């Protein structure tokens, strides 16, 4: 019986890693999609979250709101993350936002230790160092000193994103997706005063609905389910392939080609995240 439970646990852990990779692919479209919508950034975040909330509520059918500290805290951290991310994307470059938001592993290591009692291993520290070296190379020529406040908001979104990962992980015995539903509702309510004209064109509304359904709604359904079976650190490290995928979308939609440093940095990030994930999976086998 114990062996069967272990096999089942290993299967769920591997499936969770796949869900996290799918999440990263969906998240990677955010930067370019946000740039396509000409509207107030808080309003963009609100509409995106409203659509996502409807999808998630339909998925859960009967959400169970416990109003626990972890559930409410996760909702507030999530709302802050999605709003800060969109606003920062309008104030500075997508490259800046993604790089600065993905300082999150540092904060996850701190919050995970304080709130979950999870140990940060040497392997985690090596992976974090490799990830930051890789992203430093990846955006070597793109992290501009301008757009100061946009960069500040991107850093804050990294802190709140880390809190989302840890607080959802705290609810692993329950259903953490309710925190995300509440967070989306909260973001939509906060954005109501900013939903004034001039409004987006037809293309803008299509992009907003797409972002709400897929880039935000579906991605966080996958992410919430995955976090039940992985550590908070894994939940933040594996999606770090998102910054590697961004230039692929940029190449497809704008024809812009990444430079040699971007390619080298991207390979380094992929090696760090993939190697750590494989080692962790097989250590538990």
Question: What is the spatial distance between Cα 160 and Cα 170, in angstroms, rounded to a whole number?
Answer: 15
**215-236 average pLDDT score:** 78
8 Å CB contact between 55 and 180? no
Please tell me which residue, 44 or 21, carries the higher pLDDT value. Answer: 44
- For 66-89, the pLDDT digits (tens) are 898 889 999 999 999 999 999 988
What pLDDT, on the 0 to 100 scale, is given for residue 75?
95
What pLDDT, on the 0 to 100 scale, is given for residue 274?
67
What pLDDT, on the 0 to 100 scale, is given for residue 160?
93
Identify the band that residue 142 occupies on the pLDDT scale cut at 50, 70 and 90.
Answer: low
Identify the band that residue 254 occupies on the pLDDT scale cut at 50, 70 and 90.
Answer: low
Identify the band that residue 283 occupies on the pLDDT scale cut at 50, 70 and 90.
Answer: low
What pLDDT, on the 0 to 100 scale, is given for residue 7?
43
What pLDDT, on the 0 to 100 scale, is given for residue 152?
83
What pLDDT, on the 0 to 100 scale, is given for residue 42?
97
DSSP secondary structure code for residue 241 in this structure: G
Label each residue of 189-219 as H, E or C.
HHHHHHCCCCCCCHHHHHHHHHHHHHHHHHH
- Mean pLDDT (the chain) is 81
DSSP symbols for 48-87: HHHHHHHHHHHHHSS------HHHHHHHHHHHHHHHHHHH
What pLDDT, on the 0 to 100 scale, is given for residue 18?
85
8 Å CB contact between 106 and 232? no
CA angle centred on 231, ends 158 and 177, rounded to 5°: 70
C-alpha distances out from residue 214 to 48, 107, 241, Å: 10, 27, 18
What pLDDT, on the 0 to 100 scale, is given for residue 2?
55
Confidence (pTM):
0.78
**205-232 average pLDDT score:** 86
Please tell me which residue, 91 or 101, carries the higher pLDDT value. Answer: 91
Is the bond into 24 cis (omega within 30 degrees of 0)? no
Question: Which H/E stretch holds residue 257?
Answer: none
8 Å CB contact between 127 and 234? no
What pLDDT, on the 0 to 100 scale, is given for residue 133?
83
- Predicted confidence (pLDDT) at residue 3 exceeds the cutoff of 60: no
- Predicted confidence (pLDDT) at residue 29 exceeds the cutoff of 70: yes
């Amino acid at each position: 019986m114990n062996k069967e439970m272990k096999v089942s646990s290993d299967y769920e852990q591997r499936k969770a890693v796949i869900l996290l990779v799918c999440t990263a692919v969906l998240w990677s479209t955010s930067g370019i999609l946000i740039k396509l919508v000409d509207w107030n950034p808080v309003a963009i975040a609100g509409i995106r979250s409203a659509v996502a909330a409807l999808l998630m509520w339909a998925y859960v059918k009967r959400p169970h709101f416990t109003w626990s500290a972890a559930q409410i805290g996760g909702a507030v951290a999530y709302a802050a993350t999605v709003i800060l991310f969109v606003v920062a994307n309008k104030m500075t470059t997508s490259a800046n936002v993604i790089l600065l938001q993905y300082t999150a592993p540092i904060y996850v290591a701190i919050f995970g230790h304080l709130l979950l009692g999870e140990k940060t291993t040497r392997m985690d520290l090596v992976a974090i160092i490799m990830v930051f070296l890789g992203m430093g190379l990846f955006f070597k020529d793109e992290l501009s000193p301008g757009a100061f406040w946009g960069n500040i908001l991107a850093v804050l979104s990294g802190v709140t994103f880390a809190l989302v990962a840890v607080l959802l992980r705290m609810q692993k015995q329950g259903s953490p997706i309710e925190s995300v539903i509440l967070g989306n509702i909260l973001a939509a309510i906060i954005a109501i005063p900013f939903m004034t004209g001039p409004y987006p064109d037809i293309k803008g509304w299509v992009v907003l609905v797409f972002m709400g359904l897929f880039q935000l709604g579906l991605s966080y359904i996958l992410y919430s389910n995955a976090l039940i079976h992985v550590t908070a650190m894994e939940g933040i490290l594996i999606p770090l392939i998102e910054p590697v995928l961004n230039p692929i979308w940029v190449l497809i939609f704008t024809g812009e080609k990444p430079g040699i440093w971007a390619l080298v940095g991207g390979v380094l990030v992929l090696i760090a995240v993939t190697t750590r994930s494989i080692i962790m999976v097989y250590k538990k086998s």
